[in-house]
Structure 1
Amino acid sequence: MGRPIDARGWIFEVEDHATPGTYIPLGLLTSWTKNAGENEETADTTTFDSNGYYEQDVMQRGATIEVSGLYGATSGTQDPGQLYVDETWTYLLGEDSRGKMRYRHTSQDEWTVWECTVTPGEQGGETNAKTSWGATFTRCGAPTTEAVVTTP
């Protein structure tokens, strides 16, 4: 049995709509959650032949990833990934609201790629806290994968 992997080893990137294939890392993240059952829909298939036991078929699969972190503003410039989500992707509507995000752990040699929409998270903080930042990505369709390309 292998060792558990560190949560901080996950990398999340968003694709620039204007330059397909160009991904921007999401920086300053402090937590993330993947919900593989979000937006799942089922059909009840229980009949008299089920002998009192519930039965169902999954009719739709869905998933979300919620990322949270600190609002990044080093030298007056917001983290590029956060800025892209906040100032570009968040304002796209209809078909344009779909984009791509990808994620992987540093120990993996393959990205998981989602076509998805994004919902901006709440921002805030208290007297002795740093400002929070977050977003939720909702997968549209089946995930795909692509190899990690390293440049020498």
Structure 2
Amino acid sequence: MKTIYLAGGCFWGMQMFFDQFSFVKETRVGYANGFVENPNYKDVKAQKTGHAETLKIVYEDNVNLDELLNFYFEVIDPTSLNRQGEDQGSSYRTGIYYEDIKDLPIIENKIREIQKQYNKPVVVEVDKLHNFYDAEEYHQKYLEKNPNGYCHIPKEYMTKYK
């Protein structure tokens, strides 16, 4: 199994979107790359911790990270700084956080490829994962529990690849 961490605005929709893929074995929503230990949602949302709402994805190692990132870029606006949909602030920034340094060239190549599709700069943060804390349990699989909850990702994308 491999693991990658993707920040794409609100983590509720990111989790529901990636849960539809059979190659994804586990997802957890949480807070990544901030400067406070064990942050809580209120402080992250208020931008007091430096964390981004992030989805941890554990996926089959026979899946190419480049392919997985294609799906990620399908549901975010990579040129929007600290905002996706109605959610704004640094906690809603986009980011790709890796544990394995071998993933970095794949990520950098994908960013260069995506940049060619836009006139504005791609502002997706790319960094080593420095820390990740699980979000509170009520955030896990939130849109399954609350089907009418807000998400910047269109509902039809949640089952597009099933």
When the two structures are superposed, what TM-score results if normalisation uses the length of structure 1? 0.30
Structure ID, larger Rg: 1
Greater helix percent: which structure?
A: 2
